[in-house]
Chains A and B, each alone.
With several copies, the nearest count.
Chain A
Amino acid sequence: MNFDFSDDAKALGEQAKKLFADKAGTAPARKAMASGAPDFDAGLWAEIANLGWTAARVPEAHGGLGMSAEESCQLAEAAGAALAVVPLVSTLLATEALLIAGTEAQQAKYFPGIADGSLIAVPAWNEPGAVTPATVATTASGHTLTGSKAPVPDLPGAHLAIVAAAGPDGPSLWIVDLNDALVEPVETLDLVRRHGRLTLANTPAEPLGDPAAYQAWLDRAAVILAYEAIGTASAAMDMTVEYAKTRIAFGQTIGRYQGVKHKCADMFIKIELARAHALHGVAMIGSDGAELRQAAAAARVASLDALSFTAEETVQLHGGIGFTWESDCQFYYRRARALTASLAARGWWADRLVRALELRNRAAA
């Protein structure tokens, strides 16, 4: 039985937590919230690239370290916990798409830039009016795309987008050089992470090598994003537990009241359930396992449930102060909506999970 991260992956996660503890967290997030603040923390990004995190998942042949999805997940969790104002998770998601579906030439062209941090890549599947990743109206004509993508996380400041466009057998993935496209900022409920709208009007684009990769990419993205959500939820829980240990009401710390402590226990329970499924997802990515579809969907649903519950009760258990602009609670409350929007809400993923279970049943029958 070896159902846990490798020591290497854990060490990278520890390194990331340590750096983010110094350089990220709610104080930099608050700075990023100011109007006119840069799209992301360029200094921190340079440091990240320098430490090889963007290279971690890139194959050695293309200037990377050839590490596994475990490393991506450890980085996503650390970034989520620290609300780090860098396009790290977006770049990891785009990396995953290039990795599973990019041609040799595409990988050779883009991976070196991703690895050294000079090329920021983001996935763009969401469209105005679309409610799930199954609905993609952007059309392809020859080697051009036409359509609109929004809200796209980390789009402002990015160089490359992995774009979903309608194909004959469902959506497929294309590469768009953002120099060729119109990128505009879009305001969202998350005041820290920048989002954008990508307008494609016969914009040059090249399809990824494997057009069927969209579904496989969704699975992998769900696992990585589950770790981001787990990181954010854990940070919110930790902050709440600390507050409950110190805040006094009616002559005792509020953490003594079962009304408070049972909610904290529920946060832990939901987060650990999410961890179990997310780890299952990483294991299935690592082994190309048949259970990836169900593990990814379960990880997505469980992590969103953990994050939304934790974010809501974080405000609640902080009481009046938790509802002020000055409190850090709002970062988690708003980020919960951001991470929901980043890859469709729980309902669609729960249905996808049951479809996966049905398929497995049919296969077994």
Chain B
Amino acid sequence: MDFNDTPQEAEYRAKARAWLEDNAAEYREPPETAWKLDEFIQRSKAWQAKKFAAGYTGITWPKAFGGQGLGPMQSIIYGQEESRFHAPSGLYSIGLGMCIPTVFTHGSAEIAERYVPKALVGDEVWCQLFSEPSAGSDLAGIRTRAVQDGDEWVIDGQKVWTSFAHASDYGIVVTRTDPSVPKHKGLTMFIVDMKAPGVEVRGIKQMSGGSDFNEVFFTGVRVKDTHRLGDVGNGWKVALTTLMHERLAVGGKPRHAPGYETLMKLARGVEAPVGGPAIEAGDVRQRIAQSYINDQGIKLTQMRALSALSRGQMPGPEQSISKVVVAKTMQEMASFALDLAGGDGFVTGADGDPELAKLQGSYLGAAGLRIAGGTDEILRNIIAERVLGLPGDLRPDKDKPFNAAA
């Protein structure tokens, strides 16, 4: 048992690492001030084109769609190596990770030919338009309507929590095309042109101060029937395949989020509530141990999953615990650490300590992470139902026509 690459994996890693050393040198250090949106998009496009040329995009996709036809381990290895740099690759993660696989799985050959190559090379950016204000955890409860008009559909409604909507050229959108049938059955998925008339994008400011998401309003937006993904009324199943791609993206601790090491470092520098260095106090040590167990436990759990992939097997259900542990651990650890730091842990801005600012960011961000991509409650339901086989909650609306349910 070891944490080593297989010879093939090691070879791929060495190649990728060498290429990155040569080509990502300018991203070795984080930018001193964050890039503005324009520069971010420009750099993202340039970086994506470079990766495409070198064969580091669509690593697991079929060659027919411009992919490399390699296994998930190669994709993960490239990702690990790239993450040693600060290259701008986030702009494409949803488009290439979720949207385009849906497009080439459920779209016609013509549609795939039109959209996949340009997405892969990075010329066109994609976003995913699923959630709505009244349909968060209950995604199938969406209300955005699409009404057929000849060989076109007319879309009206509002989407929310859309990443990079303002920078996107196209999106995949779930709509309700038949409100007279039960809610899972009346949905249809389309490709929508984000520059089309009637599409309006507004940023959402988060509690933490950032604006990583958007609201998108559709007013009489017209989409050709050729841009439908899957059958009319089959949108729920199409959306599930999209989301399956999301779930496969193993979600560990956000890259720069403080972990148990941060708490240890802080505890070496401050006094304990009981007096003496905090690092020597029993309660602080117990908390460090718990943070290690959660942080490192998730890392090791991910290695279990990677080992399965490396062996050509499907990862076990254990990786489903990742986000629910990570988000709550971040919140608990940050709260405890800020407590330890006294008044300084509360001061922000120019007067604040940069290390403590990371913990403050983590405390604010964790509140969002506990919700985004499935709340703690939904994730526990999923573990209980899909892993342990417990029955689902009662759903009084399940078989009722959508427009007759509460």
Point out residues on A near B: beta carbons under 8 Å.
1-6, 70, 126-132, 134-135, 150-151, 186-190, 195, 197, 237, 241, 244-245, 248-253, 255-262, 264-266, 268-269, 272-277, 279-280, 282-283, 286-287, 294, 297-298, 301-302, 305, 308, 312, 315-316, 319-327, 329-330, 333, 337-338, 340-341, 344-348, 350-351, 353-354, 357-358, 361
What are the residues of chain B within 8 A of A321 when measuring CB–CB? 133, 136
**A131–B336 alpha-carbon span in the complex (Å):** 13
Q: A150-B343, A151-B347, A320-B371 are in contact. Are A273 and B325 (CB under 8 A)?
A: yes
By size class, the interface of chain B is 35 or more
Cα distance A305–B297 in the bound complex, in angstroms: 13
**How near does chain B come to A155, taking the closest CB pair, in angstroms?**
12
| Assembled-state Cα–Cα distance A296/B375 (Å) | 32
**Which of B1, B137, B272 has the most chain A CB atoms closer than 10 A to its own CB?**
B1
Of all chain A residues, which has the CB nearest B344? A128
Find A187's partner among B274, B309, B335, B347 (CB 8 Å cutoff). B347
Q: Are B4 and A2 in contact (CB under 8 A)?
A: yes
| Min CB–CB distance A261 → chain B (angstroms) | 4
Given contacts A187-B352, A320-B160, contact A353 B395 (CB under 8 A): no
Q: Which 3 A-B pairs have the closest CB atoms?
A: A251-B397, A187-B349, A347-B273
Q: Are the C-beta atoms of A269 and B324 separated by less than 8 Å?
A: yes
Segment at the interface with A among B23-31, B144-152, B287-295? B287-295
Q: How far in angstroms is the closest Cβ of chain B from A269?
A: 5
- The answer to whether B340 and A347 touch across the interface, beta carbons within 8 angstroms, is yes
Residues of B within 8 A of A (CB): 1-6, 9, 73, 131, 133-134, 136-138, 141, 160-161, 204-209, 260, 264, 270-275, 279, 282-283, 285-286, 288-290, 292-294, 296-298, 300-301, 303-304, 306-311, 318, 321, 324-325, 331, 335, 338-352, 360, 363-364, 367-368, 370-372, 375-377, 379-381, 383-385, 387-398, 400, 405-406
Q: Known pairs A3-B3, A248-B134. 14 more at Cβ < 8 A?
A: A1-B5, A132-B273, A189-B348, A256-B390, A264-B390, A269-B324, A272-B301, A275-B318, A280-B296, A316-B371, A316-B376, A323-B372, A347-B339, A348-B273
Contact A257 B376 (CB under 8 A): no
- CB <8 Å contact, B338 and A337: yes
A-B contact pairs, 21 of them (CB 8 A): A3-B1, A130-B343, A187-B347, A187-B351, A241-B388, A249-B138, A252-B391, A252-B397, A255-B384, A259-B380, A264-B384, A265-B384, A265-B388, A272-B297, A283-B3, A301-B293, A302-B297, A319-B137, A322-B371, A346-B339, A350-B273
Cβ of A190: which chain B residues have Cβ within 8 Å of it?
Answer: 346
Q: How far is the CB of B347 from chain A (nearest CB, A)?
A: 5
Contact of A3 among B2, B270, B388 (CB under 8 A): B2
Which B residues lie within 8 Å of A330 (CB)?
Answer: 207
Neighbouring B residues of A298 by C-beta, 8 Å? 289, 292-293, 296-297
Q: Are A277 and B136 in contact (CB under 8 A)?
A: no
Q: Please determine whether A320 and B131 come into contact, CB atoms closer than 8 angstroms.
A: yes
Q: A333: which B residues are within 8 A, CB to CB?
A: 207, 364, 367
Query: Given the known A-B contacts A150-B351, A353-B289, are A280 and B300 also in contact in the complex, defined by CB atoms under 8 Å?
Result: yes
Question: Are B390 and A262 closer than 8 Å at their CB atoms?
Answer: no
Contacts known (A2-B2, A245-B390, A345-B273); A186 close to B207, Cβ less than 8 A: no
> Is there an interface contact between A257 and B393, defined as CB atoms closer than 8 Å?
yes
Partner of A325 from the list B207, B324, B343 (CB cut-off 8 Å) is B207
Interface contact B384-A316, CB-CB below 8 Å: no
Report yes or no: B388 in contact with A264, Cβ–Cβ below 8 A.
yes
Q: How far is the CA of A333 from the CA of B209 in the complex (A)?
A: 13
Are A186 and B388 neighbours in the complex by a CB distance under 8 Å? no
The residue in chain B whose Cβ has the minimal distance to the Cβ of A319 is: B136
Residue among B264, B343, B348 with max Cβ neighbours from chain A (10 Å): B343
Q: Provide the residues of chain A in CB contact with B388, threshold 8 Å.
A: 237, 241, 261, 264-265, 268
The smallest beta-carbon distance between A167 and chain B, in angstroms, is: 19
